[in-house]
């Protein structure tokens, strides 16, 4: 790349020609405040906060490429005042809708502090009704039109459920025909939530209902925890990214007042038993291929809206937490001598789409409430539990023993790897030599590989993030087995995870999950003694009529609009 | 008038004789400039697209004249569409575009049929295999901006984006694209055709407080009083507004030269001259123009979206006689801020009129302010 010489704050430096001022400053260790810029995307230069002075003109650093001899100043009074003014203008609309307890994560509030603003001289000029949905709720009164949600929805997820509508000061984010998000083709992945700087988009909270149940104590309360929560919840309590807080998580939930704390990793093991068996069944009967995983409810919605020809390819397995929810209300209820109606199941998920999933008519769900990772942290804080001082505790029996295969469900490629471990051994009756399928690991958008099962070369692939999914599905017929996760990075990068969550952070959390799997003595789902016991005592065998009734589901055609 | 002189496909014939490079050379020699406002050399713009490697290239004819007080494109379409279409074909064949989009202002919907018929006829006569598609705007002022026009044709919201990439690098559907104004194409055809072609002749749209509003063709650099007297002012003119975005200036003798039209604080732009007489209040004008920009701001960037509505609120306050000295200062500060930090030309020029008015007619503003104690 061609190099050019520029002057940055008085110093002459040599930089690459294709870099924006913002990137150059970052390389040089200079921080410039930004708001609308998203790391992996081309900036739209909407917010006008990242201003600097180039050759006596004010320019946005995120979108300006300097040329030979340009002189750039980043901290003059003129620059500072201009930034301040724009923050002030943005605040005019936001202030008054902002609630105090959300302030800590509010990028606009910290920006205001940074530029030295306490209040705005301008009036609020518009009000909106919040739009509701079964998982995702938007409040335009807080929205500052930065466009990060719109960019995420259209460029990263390629769902196009939201865009800007109206013009001038009436411009606002909207779904088509101003519909509620629940009535659109929104896949409820929640990626817009973790990218919103001001909390204008959030999940539909189940927190209050759960606190109510915990206070009433009338029913038998069961909580189940998804694989990725153990490596992400720590973020909310000040641990370094990717710290595994499984033990403390279990004891915190117990302290909140739950009667039993179960592990969704076990549900994942059950999913693998069913899914691997289903795959081998298809292999014996000649298809249809590819078989596509169904653990991700956002992907299911995407398929139901956009990929109607893939219905036959979808596995019929429920997602792990739904399987565990069903088992809790049937198998466990029987063992504990409880009626189905006496049990309340709460899932802690990294996901907003799971909230919608638990209301799906297609799968008489066993889960009553779904909390996101963020809500779980709020719950623990609500009960004034000092998380860091807790002793490590273990999951409850009987649904608390899991394998490493279940743990890695939390990251992209994990479901595929876990399924292959079991499918290989079921199919060949041989021991798998190398348990780790390296080809399916990592955070590349699309990963592919192949393995021999009884002289058949099984081609598999995994994709995560809407844009990558669309790319992979263009050639879906090339594969036998496909794993799809709607969120970038898989569940560790899910829409219900602590803010901030980026692909980089997701990667670190994923590595932590792989470490956990590596430590585990049990690394294959079919060797899990509890799984064996459940089949022996209750379900007979994978794909048995009883298993079908409890653990499988079906899908519904939806329109794009 | 030069602009209505018909070229009768002679320009196209010449184009085919001398080839693309010949055309560019001729246009360069004859100093044909773009008529959209920036005054960019046509030859330079075309050459950069010709030099960009791509299998597909596009040409856009910008007929979205939304500037208040401008109606020259309409005049051309109605009076000399044959030459206009010939100019378009010349441009397309020169830069190698197979498809041309004619972006017609939404309000000119009644011209569509007429224009489409003319296009069909001229294309038949010219033996050209290019395709000219008329696309209707939906009434947004911002779609006259070249990046917004591209977004609008692609089917997205008509919002501007920053450059680079410039349209000649990545324009319509990410292909190299030339965007030229309606008037420019007529000039192109005429420059190739007539020996006595004069690039300095310009169309002025005169309106406001005059008895004979209309299109006047004058030499660039002509005296203002000459044009205005032709249009017969009703009362004594007080100020002249260069469209909405060009700013305003007290009425006095001046030469209409694009770059230095009236010192450094006005823009010549699309040559729209709106006459305000001595019965018009500068504040009413400021209010009306601010209302226009508040309505026409696309909403993309902060200063233009949030700033213009705040300016309108402040002007409202001022008109009611409730504004204080502090408000007046804020009005000034905000106007300057919007000018300095907006994304596109619309935002950057949206407060020019106000800054000018506050400078030249300051007394009208300060007279309305709330009197403070001791004053």
Strand-pairing partners, residue B239, are B250, B276
- Both B316 and B264 in one domain: the answer is no
Of A204, A329, A354, A507, the catalytic one is A354
What value of ipTM does the predicted structure carry? Answer: 0.87
Examine residue B364 and state whether it is found in any structural domain, yes or no. Answer: yes
User: Are A533 and A296 within 8 A, CB to CB?
Assistant: no
Distance between CA atoms of residues B296 and A167, nearest Å: 7
For A200-206, what is the mean pLDDT? 89
pLDDT at residue B67 in the model? 87
A-chain residues within 8 Å CB-CB of B341?
48, 51, 58, 82, 85-86
Distance between CA atoms of residues B64 and B296, nearest Å: 14
| Percent of residues, chain B, with pLDDT higher than 70 | 95
Best interface-test mutation with B: which of A80, A168, A173, A174 has the largest number of B CBs within 10 A? A168
- Both B271 and B293 in one domain: the answer is no
A-chain residues within 8 Å CB-CB of B333?
85
Which residues have CB under 8 Å from A498's CB, separation 6+?
Answer: A232, A233, A235, A236, A373, A374, A377
For A344-387, how does the pLDDT look when each residue is reduced to its tens digit (9 = 90+)?
A: 999 999 999 999 999 888 887 889 999 999 999 999 999 999 99
A55 backbone φψ class: left, alpha, beta (φ>0; ψ -120 to 50): left
- Both B167 and B253 in one domain: the answer is no
For A303-345, how does the pLDDT look when each residue is reduced to its tens digit (9 = 90+)?
A: 999 999 999 999 999 999 999 999 999 999 998 899 989 999 9
Question: In sequence order, which ranges of A285-429 are alpha helices (DSSP H)?
Answer: 297-306, 320-327, 333-336, 353-357, 373-382, 404-407, 414-428
Q: How remote is the C-alpha of A93 from its chain's centroid?
A: 29
Total structural domains in chain B? 3
Structural domain ending residue among the three candidates B245, B277, B309? B277
Examine residue B2 and state whether it is found in any structural domain, yes or no. Answer: no
Distance between CA atoms of residues A45 and A49, nearest Å: 9
pLDDT at residue A378 in the model? 93
- Both B286 and B273 in one domain: the answer is no
Closest CA to B251 of B261, B266, B236: B236
Q: A167 vs B303: CB contact, 8 Å cut-off?
A: no
Examine residue B135 and state whether it is found in any structural domain, yes or no. Answer: yes
Examine residue B3 and state whether it is found in any structural domain, yes or no. Answer: no
Q: How remote is the C-alpha of A382 from its chain's centroid?
A: 23
φ, ψ for residue B334 (rounded to 5)? -65, -40
- Both B307 and B233 in one domain: the answer is no
Question: What CATH code is carried by the domain that includes residue B235?
Answer: 3.10.20.600
Is A278 catalytic? The answer is yes
Judge whether A92 is closer than 8 Å to chain B, CB to CB: yes
State the smallest CA–CA distance between residue A493 and chain B in angstroms.
29
φ, ψ for residue A458 (rounded to 5)? -90, 120
For B213-220, what is the mean pLDDT? 90
Structural domain ending residue among the three candidates B193, B219, B242? B193
Distance between CA atoms of residues B14 and A557, nearest Å: 61
Q: Indicate if the pLDDT at residue A101 is higher than 70.
A: no
Closest CA to A308 of A120, A560, A543: A560
- Both B157 and B17 in one domain: the answer is yes
For A246-281, how does the pLDDT look when each residue is reduced to its tens digit (9 = 90+)?
A: 999 999 999 999 999 999 999 999 999 999 999 999
HSE-up (13 A, CA, CB side) for residue A211: 14
Question: What CATH code is carried by the domain that includes residue B343?
Answer: 1.20.1440.230
Q: Indicate if the pLDDT at residue A540 is higher than 90.
A: no
- Both B120 and B233 in one domain: the answer is no
- Both B68 and B186 in one domain: the answer is yes
Structural domain ending residue among the three candidates B131, B164, B193? B193
- Give the Å distances, CA to CA, from B158 to A500, B145, B167, B298: 32, 9, 15, 8
pTM over 0.90, yes/no: no
| Percent of residues, chain B, with pLDDT higher than 90 | 62
Q: Indicate if the pLDDT at residue B374 is higher than 70.
A: no
- Both B21 and B157 in one domain: the answer is yes
pLDDT at residue A100 in the model? 47
Question: In sequence order, which ranges of chain B are alpha helices (DSSP H)?
Answer: 10-29, 42-51, 72-95, 112-126, 146-154, 182-193, 224-231, 282-296, 302, 308-319, 325-341, 345-349, 352-360, 362-368
Q: Indicate if the pLDDT at residue B34 is higher than 90.
A: no
Examine residue B61 and state whether it is found in any structural domain, yes or no. Answer: yes
Domain that holds residue B299: 282-368
State the smallest CA–CA distance between residue B313 and chain A in angstroms.
9
- Both B180 and B70 in one domain: the answer is yes
By C-alpha distance, the chain A residue nearest B300 is A46
Cβ under 8 Å to B: A residues 107-146: 121-123, 125, 145
pLDDT at residue A142 in the model? 86
- Both B138 and B28 in one domain: the answer is yes
Examine residue B355 and state whether it is found in any structural domain, yes or no. Answer: yes
User: Are A231 and A364 within 8 A, CB to CB?
Assistant: no
| Percent of residues, chain A, with pLDDT higher than 70 | 98
pLDDT at residue B248 in the model? 87
Q: What is the dihedral of CA B145, B149, B150, B152, to 10 degrees?
A: 140
For B291-314, how does the pLDDT look when each residue is reduced to its tens digit (9 = 90+)?
A: 999 999 999 999 999 999 999 999
Examine residue B23 and state whether it is found in any structural domain, yes or no. Answer: yes
Q: What is the dihedral of CA B247, B249, B254, B258, to 10 degrees?
A: -10
For B148-160, how does the pLDDT look when each residue is reduced to its tens digit (9 = 90+)?
A: 999 999 998 888 9
Q: B337 vs A65: CB contact, 8 Å cut-off?
A: no
Question: What CATH code is carried by the domain that includes residue B74?
Answer: 3.40.50.11540
State the smallest CA–CA distance between residue A375 and chain B in angstroms.
32
Q: A169 vs B294: CB contact, 8 Å cut-off?
A: yes
Domains and CATH numbers, chain A: 1-118 (3.10.20.740), 136-203 (3.30.70.20), 207-551 (3.40.50.1780)
Distance between CA atoms of residues B349 and B272, nearest Å: 15
State the smallest CA–CA distance between residue B325 and chain A in angstroms.
14
Examine residue B251 and state whether it is found in any structural domain, yes or no. Answer: yes
Of A107, A203, A274, A275, the catalytic one is A275
- Both B24 and B124 in one domain: the answer is yes
């Amino acid at each position: 790349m061609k190099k050019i010489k520029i002057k940055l704050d008085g110093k002459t430096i040599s930089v690459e020609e294709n870099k924006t001022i913002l990137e150059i400053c970052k390389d040089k260790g200079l921080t410039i405040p930004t708001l609308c810029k998203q790391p992996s995307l081309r900036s739209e230069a909407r917010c006008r906060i990242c201003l600097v002075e180039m050759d006596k003109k004010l320019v946005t650093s995120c979108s300006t490429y300097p040329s030979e001899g340009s002189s750039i100043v980043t901290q003059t009074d003129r620059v500072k005042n201009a930034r301040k003014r724009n923050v002030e203008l943005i605040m005019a609309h936001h202030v008054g809708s902002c609630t105090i307890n959300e302030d800590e994560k509010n990028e606009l509030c910290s920006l205001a502090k940074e530029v030295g603003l306490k209040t705005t001289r301008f009036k609020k000029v518009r009000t909106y009704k919040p739009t509701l949905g079964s998982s995702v709720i938007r409040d335009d009164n807080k929205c500052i039109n930065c466009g990060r949600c719109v960019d995420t929805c259209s460029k990263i997820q390629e769902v196009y459920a939201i865009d800007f509508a109206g013009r001038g000061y009436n411009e606002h984010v909207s779904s088509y025909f101003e519909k509620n998000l629940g009535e659109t083709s929104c896949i409820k992945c929640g990626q817009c939530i973790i990218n919103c700087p001001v909390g204008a988009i959030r999940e539909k909270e189940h927190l209050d209902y759960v606190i109510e149940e915990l206070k009433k104590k009338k029913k038998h309360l069961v909580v189940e925890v998804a694989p990725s929560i153990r490596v992400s919840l720590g973020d909310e309590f000040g641990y370094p990214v990717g710290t595994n807080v499984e033990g403390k998580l279990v004891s915190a939930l117990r302290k909140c007042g739950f009667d039993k704390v179960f592990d969704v990793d076990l549900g994942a093991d059950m999913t693998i038993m069913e899914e691997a068996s289903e795959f081998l069944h298809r292999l014996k009967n000649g298809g249809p291929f590819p078989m596509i995983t169904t653990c991700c409810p956002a992907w299911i919605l995407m398929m139901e809206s956009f990929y109607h020809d893939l219905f036959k390819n979808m596995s019929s397995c429920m997602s792990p937490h739904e399987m565990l929810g069903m088992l809790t209300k049937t198998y466990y209820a029987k063992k504990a001598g409880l009626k189905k109606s006496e049990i309340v199941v709460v899932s802690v998920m990294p996901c907003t789409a799971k909230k919608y999933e638990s209301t799906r008519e297609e799968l008489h769900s066993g889960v009553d409430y779904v909390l996101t990772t963020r809500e779980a942290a709020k719950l623990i804080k609500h009960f004034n539990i000092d998380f860091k001082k807790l002793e490590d505790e273990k999951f409850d029996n009987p649904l608390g023993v899991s394998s490493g295969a279940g743990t890695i469900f939390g990251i992209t490629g994990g479901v595929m790897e876990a399924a292959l471990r079991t499918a290989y051994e079921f199919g060949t009756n041989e021991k798998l030599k190398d348990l780790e399928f390296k080809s399916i690991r990592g955070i590349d958008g699309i990963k592919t590989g192949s393995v021999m099962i009884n002289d058949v070369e099984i081609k598999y692939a995994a994709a995560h993030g809407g844009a990558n999914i669309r790319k992979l599905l263009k050639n879906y017929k090339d594969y036998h087995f496909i794993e799809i996760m709607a969120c970038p990075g898989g569940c560790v990068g899910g829409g219900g995870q602590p803010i901030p969550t980026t692909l980089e952070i997701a990667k670190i959390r994923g590595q932590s999950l792989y470490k956990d799997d590596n430590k585990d003595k049990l690394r294959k789902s079919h060797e899990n003694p509890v799984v064996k016991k459940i089949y022996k005592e209750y379900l007979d065998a994978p794909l048995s009529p009883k298993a079908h009734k409890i653990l499988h589901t079906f899908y519904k055609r939806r329109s794009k609009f | 008038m030069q602009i209505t002189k018909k070229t009768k496909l002679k320009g196209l014939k010449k184009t085919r004789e001398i080839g693309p490079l010949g055309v560019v050379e001729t246009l360069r020699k004859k100093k044909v400039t773009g008529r959209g406002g920036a005054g960019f050399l046509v030859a330079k713009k075309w050459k950069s697209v010709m030099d960009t490697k791509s299998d597909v290239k596009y040409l856009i004819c910008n007929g979205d004249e939304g500037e208040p007080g401008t109606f020259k494109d309409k005049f051309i379409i109605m009076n000399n569409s044959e030459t206009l279409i010939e100019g378009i074909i010349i441009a397309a064949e020169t830069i190698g575009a197979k498809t041309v989009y004619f972006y017609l202002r939404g309000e000119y919907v009644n011209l569509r049929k007429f224009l489409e018929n003319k296009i069909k006829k001229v294309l038949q006569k010219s033996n050209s295999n290019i395709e000219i598609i008329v696309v209707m705007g939906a009434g947004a002022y911002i779609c006259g901006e070249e990046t917004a026009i591209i977004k609008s044709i692609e089917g997205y919201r008509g919002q501007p984006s920053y450059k680079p990439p410039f349209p000649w690098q990545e324009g319509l559907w990410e292909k190299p694209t030339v965007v030229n104004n309606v008037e420019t194409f007529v000039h192109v055809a005429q420059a190739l055709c007539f020996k006595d072609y004069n690039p300095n002749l310009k169309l002025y749209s005169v309106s406001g407080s005059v008895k004979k509003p209309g299109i006047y063709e004058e030499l660039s650099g002509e005296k203002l009083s000459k044009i205005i007297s032709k249009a017969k002012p009703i009362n004594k003119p007080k100020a002249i507004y260069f469209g909405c975005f060009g700013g305003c200036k007290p009425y006095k003798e001046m030469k209409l030269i694009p770059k230095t039209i009236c010192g450094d604080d006005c823009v010549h732009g699309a040559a729209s001259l709106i006459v305000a007489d001595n019965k018009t209040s500068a504040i009413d004008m400021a209010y009306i123009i601010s209302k226009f920009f508040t309505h026409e701001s696309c909403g993309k960037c902060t200063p233009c979206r949030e700033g213009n509505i705040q300016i309108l609120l402040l002007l409202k306050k001022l008109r009611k006689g409730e504004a204080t000295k502090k408000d007046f200062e804020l009005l000034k500060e905000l106007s300057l801020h919007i000018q300095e930090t907006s994304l596109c030309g619309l935002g950057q020029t949206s407060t020019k009129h106000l800054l000018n008015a506050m400078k030249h007619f300051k007394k009208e503003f300060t007279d309305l302010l709330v009197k403070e104690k001791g004053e």
